[in-house]
Amino acid sequence: MATVKHRYFVWCWQIHCRWKLTKMLPVSTPLRLYDDVKLASPQGDVALLLRENSNAPLKLSGVSARLAQQLLVGTSLAALQDELAKHYPQATPEQCQQALHAFLQRLRQANMIDDGAERPAVTKVAGRIPLPNPDAAARRIASLLQLVPHWLGRSLLWAAALLALWQAAASLPALNIWLMQGEWQGSQLPVMLLGMPLWLLLHEMGHAVACRFYGCPVLGAGLQFRGWWLPSAFVNTSAIALYPQRKVQATVALAGPLVDLLCLGALAFLCATAVAATVRPLQMLVLIGFLFNLTPFRLSDMTRAFQAFAQRDASGKNLNWSAAGRSLFRSYCLLYGMVMAGLMVWVSMISWQRIAGWLAAGAEV
């Protein structure tokens, strides 16, 4: 009697699932992912569904990843059922329908699938202004860089970074003289107003290109305000944290400071020409921004690079460092603190000399 009752309930549940799936969508209804949903594959049998301006991706594997591939180009309910039946030949049609219903429901809850229904509005984050997503441009640049042999690209990058570092260091004495004796010119303000946004664009584009170089989509870009008064540009490369290679995560984080260093080298080269007085203020601002992005005492690009090699605990909030990682991080904090202390002494001496010069000039008058 119990067996008959159990079979009866199973039969009713199968009929209910079949009716619910049929009522939900006709078999021939076209299905596809929304245009702002992107698919990435950090591993062979794993797929990540990523939606723009969202930090809540879906991780799929096995047959679910293949279904997502079909939805990316557009398919139908019948085609998805056939794919499930091929993958699970021992399953009954009712079981395939139940699994498909759960899969589609998961996509609906994530606001990723276009099944003809009205899409819920995307919730805006307070304090952020969305900008055009640079993902398409980053993908084209990354595809061109991938044509260069790996060893050659790495050698050229190291050579450019070392040359920029040497050029920037060699220009510091001249920058010191300008800070102590130089005067402001009318052409410096337009250069700063045009150069600062361009530098910030190149910095964020460095993150985006590095992210795309490893096959991870950029999920958006925008402006955010620090303390509600200081605007700061950003690109959303949060999906790279789902990639298992820690070296990849660290590389994407360090791509921005690398661009800063190359910009410093280019400005230092210009400071050796006739336009030196015009670009000196921009060089000083880029130098401050470069050091700001390397600080280990706040959430910065360098901090993210270190965090890529740390393990999170079961709660997902606290980082557990290895002994070697903790020692390296402390050494870097000490080195950075010494550099910043020297910089503060340098700025203090320049400020004092400036004030003393102004006082002397006022006494002569």
| Residue 18 or 121, more confident | 121
* Residue 61: strand pairing partners: 46
Residue 16, pLDDT > 60, answer no
Q: Using DSSP, state whether 191 is helix, strand or coil.
A: helix
Average pLDDT along the chain: 82
Q: What is the mean pLDDT of residues 143-170?
A: 94
Task: Give the angle 320-57-311 at the CA atoms, nearest 5°.
Answer: 10
> How far apart are the C-alpha atoms of 294 and 322, rounded to whole Å?
21
pTM given for the model: 0.81
| In the chain, % of residues over pLDDT 70 | 83
Q: CB within 8 A of 262, min separation 6: which ones?
A: 160, 161, 164
| Residue 320 or 121, more confident | 320
Q: For residue 85, count CB atoms less than 10 angstroms from its CB and return exposed for 0-12, middle for 13-18, buried for 19 or more.
A: middle
| Residue 145 or 127, more confident | 145
* Residue 49: strand pairing partners: 39, 58
Local confidence band at 127 (pLDDT 50, 70, 90 cut-offs): low
What backbone torsions phi and psi does residue 294 show, to the nearest 5 degrees?
Answer: -100, 0
Residue 346, pLDDT > 90, answer no
Local confidence band at 80 (pLDDT 50, 70, 90 cut-offs): confident
> How far apart are the C-alpha atoms of 307 and 301, rounded to whole Å?
10
Local confidence band at 70 (pLDDT 50, 70, 90 cut-offs): confident
